[in-house]
Structure formats: C-alpha cells, structure tokens
Amino acid sequence: MLGASLGRGGKPLRIAYGRIFHEACAASPLLTTRDAFVQQHHVAGEELARAASLRGEELASFFPHAELTGFLQAARAAGGVEAVPLSSALAVPGGPLTRECFEWLLDDLVARVRDAGRLDGVYLALHGSMEVSELGESPEAVILRRVREAAPGAKIAASFDLHGNLSAGIVEPLDVLVSYRTNPHWDLAPTGFRAGNRLIRSLRGQCRPVSAWRKLPVVVGGGMNVDFLEPMRGVYKLMSKLERDPRVLTTSFFVVHPFTSADDLGWSVHVTTDGDADLAERLADQLADRAWTARRAPLPELLDIDRALDEVRRSPWRKLGPITLVDVDDIVGAGAPGGNTRIVEALVADDRGLSLLVPVHDPAAVARAFETPLGATLELSLRGTPGYEQPEVPLVATVAARADDPRWGRRARLTAGRTEIAVTERPPLPIHPGFWRELGIDPRRADAMVQKNFFHYRLFHLATSFRHLPVVTDGATNLRRAASAPRRVPSYPSADPVDWRDGDRQFRAARAG
C-alpha cells in the first residue's frame, strides 16, 4: 500500500519540471522587467537540476529546498522516473511584468518543453497572482495553455501559492492542482512533493484525479490568514479531515492576493478525488461553506505611525528585542516598491528617543551615499521610489556603511540621530537579520525595526522580535483601499452577500458570456 501511495512501480516515465513565479501589485509604479529575474533567480537545464537537488540551494537567500526539490524527491521515491529540467524563474514581488519580460520567460520555458522530446507529464511551480501589463488575462492561464500545446498528450500538474487567484483558465488545463497549506509559507517542498506524487500515480493508472472548485465573493477577510490561528485553523483542519478519506487526493484553499487589477478576484476552494466526480462536488461545497464562515474575522488593529511609535516607547517588549513595525501599506513581499518615506518623516519630527531601523527604496539617495566618503555628513532630501508620490524629507545624516550584492543591488546605511535608514537601489526585503548585519548593525540592539513583509520575516526573527505592530502609511498595499474597491462581482467586505453561491454563479457566467 505504501508503494502504491508513493507511485512506485509501473512504466518508466519522463516528466519535465520548471517554474515561472511572480506576485504582482498593480499600484506599484515600478514595472517588473527581465533584469529582476536575472538578478534574483533564473536557472535552467543541468544548473536547475543541481539547484533543486538535496545538496543544492533551489532559491538562494530564501529557501534551500522549494517546490522543485519536493517534486524531484517524489520522483525519486516513485522510481522509474526521468525528471527533465526546464527553466526556473522567480523575482521578488513587484509591479506587473512588462510584456517583453513575460514573453521572454514564456518563450524560453515553452521552447525547452518542445526540445525535451516525448514527455508523459509536466510539473510547474506557479504563483497564481501574476500580472502582465496590457495582457488582459491571467498570465498563469496563458502559461498553461502554451505548455499544453507544446506537450500534446502529456498530463500537467501545477502548484500555487495560497494567495493565487483561481480562474477557469488555470483550473481546466490541469490534471493535478495543489496549493501551499501554510502561511507564513514554509511548505514549498512538501507542496512540490504532493504535486509530483499525484501526477506520477495518475500517469501509472494508480489514481484517476477528478476535480471540483468553487469561487467565493471574498477579497479581504479571515483575520490574519495564518493557517495555525483561527479562523483559518478550522478551515485547514477540515481539509486535513477530508484528506483522511482515501478517495480524496488533495484539497486546496486560496485566500487571494488583493492587490492585482484582475476583475475576478475572490477566494477559491478546490477538491480532487480519485475518480468520484460527485464526491468532489459535494466536498467542494462543504469546504466552501466552511471557508465562507471565516470571512468576517477582522484584521488586527492597524495603527497610524504616531500611535505605533508611542506604543513602542511605552512597551516593555523592546527590552527583549526590537518591536517590529509592519508597514502594511508598503509591503515589498506583496509587490509594493518599498519607498515609503512617511515613517522617516515622523521620526525626523519626533523620534521619541527611540532607535529605529528603517529601510527605504530611494535610488537617488543611494547614488549620493556612494559618492560620499564613509563617515562623512550628507545633506539630502529623501524622496523614496520615483513616481510613488511620497513626502520629501530633508535629512542631515552620516554615511555609516555601504554594501553591494548582485541580487539586492547597492545599499547604504544613513545615520540620522538615533534613526538608522537603509536606502536601497532595489525594493528592500529585509526579512533576514543579515540585511542589517551586512550594514554593520545588530538588529537586536534597536528599539524597533520596520518590516516590508506581512509574515515571512517571522521565520527568521523568532529569536529577535517578540512584538509586532501593523502600521498604515498610505502606500501601494493599502488593505482598506483594496477591500473597498468596486468589484464586478459584489464581494466581501465592500458587499456582504448572504451566500457564496450567487457569487460563484456570477464568476462562472461572466466567463461563459
């Protein structure tokens, strides 16, 4: 039975694997170009095979083992599988991709699929909330359509971030669909393993995946959306319970990324059973009902900047380590440019005697800092990301440190009073303490630090920061603005339908029309 569950035995298989992964924020003034992928992560062929092995580092600086490593371990466990590396491309979330960038990524992937020869299957690690300038449809749907055309007869599996936005164009071309199950996301490799396992078993006739999915009219809801906290904990417990039935191959739940301009944004559930279409339909309804009950859980209280700084000054938590101020309106991890200057503006007006670490995307300030000798005083105006319409903040600061990295670009630390500002050439993502240590600062000695990430930084700061305050700053990832935006299908929280089913029908009818 164990051998069958791992897909062992049966005919030898050729399965190709690859990735195109990006999460977009439509409100960012910075379009994402091919340079973002070249600088961050773009590997192919044997280099990809080495990176995705257990001895490799699949996503350098992020995860040594991610979805493609998990897929390769599923193939190894099954035996008799030739895994064919395609290409893998990932960039830090940002503005929509340019058409040129998307076509470059897609043409490369599709050409490698064609050149691979006969394939029994293809596995792709995708996000689900990519956006491409002037494309007019889901980029992931385009990717799947082109790959299916390039590999006729092959079965296709794909995995997605749980913030993906499902659509018929994504669901219908797939034989196997799985999502992450954790937020913060630590289960990338297990997700790739599950996708590979189901694909291999399907190809060997050991299971027959049939699926059903539902689209819920919810854009923002469910509290913090953390899998191990209520209300989401109850949804995932139900999914685990459903999967204990041997007839159920996998369940997925998507809470959507609300910052794209897609007109069909909404939560989704997806259920795959072993050959039982009626069961898949019933369980999809059951899971949608349970998810629907979670929508009204409120977000944590969002603080304005002054109130957050006052809270830091009063809080005893800063004696144990820096309090984290999560800049929820300028989340680089959700595609914002990271150039918010409002927190620095507040600190210049009144720092309250606090030592703070603040990252700001400002290429012009970086250029000035690299022209100025270390230790010298620099007078400048901090303007943030070009085109971001942030306040101009006059500064007199010391150029304290500089760093230059191929993936993150040039950075400089400016000391202004007790405030340490990391100005960056590219959008900053300081989720790891090493971001500040490379600039000569031990973050544990600060009273507070600003993060440009909702969740993932907590994995790296478990022993550093023990108090977290969400702060609003009027930037590209403003949750209130996303929640209140008009929608083609009335959706929670700007509307509160009695039931999810009417919204599901409207989403599907719009596609049919």
pLDDT in the model for residue 5: 79
Q: Is residue 507 part of a domain?
A: no
pLDDT in the model for residue 7: 81
Which of 271, 292, 313 is the last residue before a domain boundary?
292
pLDDT in the model for residue 487: 92
Least Cα distance to 345 among 331, 327, 332, 320 occurs for 327
Query: Looking at the structure, do residues 451 and 366 belong to the same domain, yes or no?
Result: yes
pLDDT tens-place string over residues 348-403? 999 999 999 999 999 999 999 999 999 999 999 999 999 999 999 999 999 999 99
Residue 225 CA to residue 166 CA, distance in Å, equals 17
Burial grade of 444 (CB within 10 A; 0-12, 13-18, 19 or more): middle
Which of 292, 315, 341 is the last residue before a domain boundary?
292
Query: Looking at the structure, do residues 17 and 166 belong to the same domain, yes or no?
Result: yes
pLDDT in the model for residue 456: 84
The secondary structure element, H or E, covering residue 469 is strand 468-471
pLDDT in the model for residue 513: 41
Distances (CA, A) of 305 to 96, 334, 437, 444: 29, 20, 25, 21
Amino acid at residue number 11? K
Taking each helix axis as running N to C, give the angle between helix 99-115 and helix 139-150, from 0 to 180 degrees, rounded to the nearest 10: 20
Q: Is residue 510 part of a domain?
A: no
Instruction: Name the phi and psi angles at 391, rounded to 5.
Output: -60, 145
Q: Is residue 495 part of a domain?
A: no
The position carrying tokens 């949608």 is 288
Query: Looking at the structure, do residues 278 and 332 belong to the same domain, yes or no?
Result: no
pLDDT in the model for residue 3: 60
Query: Looking at the structure, do residues 365 and 235 belong to the same domain, yes or no?
Result: no
Q: 449, 436 in Cβ contact below 8 A? A: yes
Query: Looking at the structure, do residues 314 and 257 belong to the same domain, yes or no?
Result: no
Q: Is residue 492 part of a domain?
A: no
Query: Looking at the structure, do residues 24 and 78 belong to the same domain, yes or no?
Result: yes
pLDDT in the model for residue 61: 74
Residue 198 CA to residue 175 CA, distance in Å, equals 9
Q: Are strands 13-21 and 356-361 parallel, antiparallel or unpaired?
A: unpaired
Query: Looking at the structure, do residues 358 and 243 belong to the same domain, yes or no?
Result: no
Least Cα distance to 7 among 76, 84, 72 occurs for 76
Tens digit of each residue's pLDDT, the chain (513 residues): 456 678 887 789 999 999 999 999 999 999 999 999 999 999 999 999 999 999 999 998 788 999 999 999 999 999 999 999 999 999 999 999 999 999 999 999 999 999 999 999 999 999 999 999 999 999 999 999 999 999 999 999 999 999 999 999 999 999 999 999 999 899 999 999 999 999 999 999 999 999 999 999 999 999 999 998 999 999 999 999 999 999 999 999 999 999 999 989 999 999 999 999 999 999 999 999 999 999 999 989 999 999 999 999 999 999 999 999 999 999 999 999 999 999 999 999 999 999 999 999 999 999 999 999 999 999 999 999 999 999 999 999 999 999 998 878 999 999 999 999 999 999 999 999 999 999 999 999 999 999 999 988 988 899 999 999 999 999 999 999 999 998 999 999 999 999 999 999 999 987 654
pLDDT in the model for residue 467: 96
pLDDT in the model for residue 459: 84
The strand ranges marked E within 217-365 are 248-254, 267-274, 323-327, 356-361
The position carrying tokens 């219908």 is 172
Residue 274 CA to residue 346 CA, distance in Å, equals 58
Taking each helix axis as running N to C, give the angle between helix 277-292 and helix 232-243, from 0 to 180 degrees, rounded to the nearest 10: 160
Q: Range of 311's domain?
A: 305-481
Q: What is this structure's pTM?
A: 0.95
Contacts 24+ apart (CB under 8 A), 33-36: 33/97, 33/98, 33/100, 33/101, 34/98, 34/100, 34/101, 34/104, 34/105, 36/91, 36/92, 36/94, 36/101
Give the side-chain half-sphere CA count within 13 A for 85.
Answer: 19
Query: Looking at the structure, do residues 176 and 217 belong to the same domain, yes or no?
Result: yes
Q: How many domains does the chain have?
A: 2
Q: Is residue 503 part of a domain?
A: no
Phi-psi region at 404: left, alpha or beta (left = phi > 0; alpha = psi -120 to 50): beta
Query: Looking at the structure, do residues 240 and 265 belong to the same domain, yes or no?
Result: yes
